Amino acid sequence: MPLSRSLSMTSLSGLLPAWEEDELPVEDLLLFEVAWEVTNKVGGIYTVIQSKAKITVDEWGENYYMMGPYYEHNFKTQVEGCEPPNAAVRKAMDSLTHNGCQVHFGRWLIEGSPYVILFDIGSAAWNLDRWKGDLWESCHIGLPYHDREANDSLILGSLIAWFFKELTDHLGDKPNIIGHFHEWQAGPGLILSRSRKIPMATVFTTHATLLGRYLCAGNVDFYNNLDKFDIDKEAGERQIYHRYCLERAAVHCAHVFTTVSQITAVEANHMLHRKPDVVTPNGLNVKKFSAMHEFQNMHSTNKVRIQEFVRGHFYGHLDFSLDKTLFFFIAGRYEFSNKGADIFLESLSRLNYLLRVHKNDMTVVVFFIMPAKTNNFNVESLKGQAVRKQLWDTAQTVKEKFGKKLYDALLKGQIPDMNAILDRDDFTIMKRAIYATQRHGLPPVTTHNMLDDSTDPILSSVRRIGLFNSRNDRVKVIFHPEFLSSTSPLLPMDYEDFVRGCNLGVFPSYYEPWGYTPGECTVMGIPSVTTNLSGFGCFMEEHVSDPAAYGIYIVDRRFRSPEESCNQLTQFMFSFCQQSRRQRIIQRNRTERLSDLLDWRYLGRFYMYARHLALSRSFPDKFKMDPKAPVKTEGFRYPRPSSVPPSPSASVHSTPHHSDVEDDDDDEPYDEDDEAERDRLNIKTPFVLGGVPEGKKKQPGESGL
């Protein structure tokens, strides 16, 4: 689903030069993209391939195909079955079908409607032992019988390599084939295709190294010890040596190896012993609004919906003003350390102390949206929403009665006696409603009944730091251990609407190869906290002169101790709480202007370059490109907005402002149109691939691999 942004904000449209590299003759090529998550949502790779589909289809048309495993439910709900338009593709599929392996074809019902070829793993499982033997003979990698995921990936890979062999036999020399494989699950297809010398160009993309994810989950000092790990030993101790071998073999077999960020490129160089040829950052489809104020209006509308939930959740303890309340959130897979939930909770404890010491009347409500094992909503959370609704109904009843009497009195030309306009029954109803809001305990921290309440990492940390939503706490915590849905009886909001209603997304990840969550915040104009250990954070540091001025706060978790990082995060959040409402509106405008940095229309160019490079290496007689030329990206570094003083801390007052008050002395100079135009004039040409022209100096945002 495309995320929306404003047309009147600074846009790179019209600033981009024509693509300087030679256009590929796509009519003489076939592109196949292979991933385990084609029509099969498992994790973040699904978002990458789904969101990238439209720009790839726009470029390649009917010569673009996606390949993955067949699941009956996914096929019936997401794919429109049809016949392959290409005769050679149809013949290759028929060859597999005639040998007892089922292959399904259709259009994936997403934006762009790409063709998909899905292989039924179950129908070919009888070949597993023979294909294990083929893998051993070709590259001496053995797979244990108990690892079903690895065995399934081998079956899928063998079917794909078989398909490519049949396809190239039918096609001959033209058109040429490009195979783009994502992650280790797609690796066997690449390994077998190369070992059988199938004439095709291959690209392999790792979105996160297999061993890196395991090591970080074990709370090791990963980035400071990259060159010290005994890779084989570490993989063996975690019983993933065979998976690691598949991943490493795929990396070294591919004509072109890519990763999604600079930080993952460093990791891959040590873990997989190959330096990536190209960094291919992840993008989003950015849909534009017709007016700049629309996304601000959407923020206000969705914030009201969150406030309604908070009114119910904190009934009986609603002694803070919702007009002076900020909503922070963290969301994603429940990886407590990798996603930075540990440092976030510690920082919230310190933020709570600072807000209380400075006698700040600002309240922060923090949402943790991370799926965990639960058995249902807890009774107290549901009761809170029921009490809120009952109170609303009572207020509406009394309001209608009051309004009718007031109307009748005014028609008669009288000013009604306010003491007599409501009778005793009305006061009784209102008193009963007030008594119903009394509660004997504290508002719950979690909205669901947790199955592992005593050992849950978030709840254990909440108990340790003592954030129990008491009246004295200026920081309130709500743990929602389930993905958001508009059909929920508790918080009926989709994730996108929820994000738009919040004030700050906090994602202090320790291990995050890219990080879609802060990117989604940016596109929706919501400031966010990220780290220099996430691909997104590194990308923003490279392309934006002062990320904090544009609402991207980058915590240093690579070169600072955990204690220093925690203090830095606390200071970011405390400074954010000190901003006035006007300052937050200005910052949201600036954040939203960064949307074009993350648009696939621009980031997709790196994939174009990777494909061209693969063709030049596999078919050097047909496709010319200097394979030794380093890849350069001429960074477009957004300048610091002119309205921001040299020090970020100088743009906020020493005394916290109320969020609902516009101060007369708030003289920060700001004109949206002037600032947008200034950004247009100062943006450097983005994403020029190839060497730096002669006589041209390297720009501050420029980097190479």
DSSP sequence for 631-688 = PEE----BPPPTTS-SSGGGGS-SSPPPTT---TT------HHHHHHHHHHHPPPP--
Distances (CA, A) of 56 to 59, 189, 399, 652, 659: 5, 22, 57, 44, 44
Nearest to 218 by CA among 453, 511, 460: 511
Q: Is residue 462 within 8 Å of 450, Cβ to Cβ?
A: no
Q: For the chain, what are the domain ranges?
A: 31-279, 296-378+444-597, 384-442
Taking only the tens place, the pLDDT of each residue in 367-413 is: 999 999 999 999 999 999 998 998 888 888 888 888 888 888 888 88
Give the CA count within 13 Å in the CB-facing half-sphere of 292: 15
| Domain 31-279: which CATH number of 3.40.1480.10, 3.20.20.70, 3.30.1330.180, 3.40.50.2000 | 3.40.50.2000
According to the model, what pLDDT value does residue 8 have? 30
According to the model, what pLDDT value does residue 680 have? 53
> Residue 369 pairs with which residues in a beta bridge?
331, 480
The least confident of 273-277, 467-471, 591-595, 663-667 is 663-667
The mean pLDDT of the chain is 86
Taking only the tens place, the pLDDT of each residue in 130-166 is: 999 999 999 999 999 999 999 999 999 999 999 999 9
Burial 562-599 (b: 16+ CB within 10 A, else e): eeebbbbbbbbbbbbbbbbbbbbbbbbbbbbbbbbbbb
Q: Is residue 542 within 8 Å of 703, Cβ to Cβ?
A: yes
Taking only the tens place, the pLDDT of each residue in 541-575 is: 988 888 998 999 999 999 999 999 999 999 999 99
Residue 702 above 50 pLDDT? no
The least confident of 73-77, 176-180, 417-421 is 417-421
Beta carbons within 10 angstroms of residue 47's beta carbon: 17
Q: Which CATH superfamily is domain 296-378+444-597 in?
A: Glycogen Phosphorylase B; (3.40.50.2000)
Taking only the tens place, the pLDDT of each residue in 512-542 is: 999 999 999 999 999 999 999 999 999 999 8
> pTM for this one?
0.84
Q: Could you check whether 31-279 and 296-378+444-597 share the same CATH topology?
A: yes
> Residue 64 pairs with which residues in a beta bridge?
31
Residue 676: pLDDT band (50, 70, 90) is low
The rounded distance, in Å, linking the Cα atoms of 118 and 280 is 25
According to the model, what pLDDT value does residue 351 have? 97
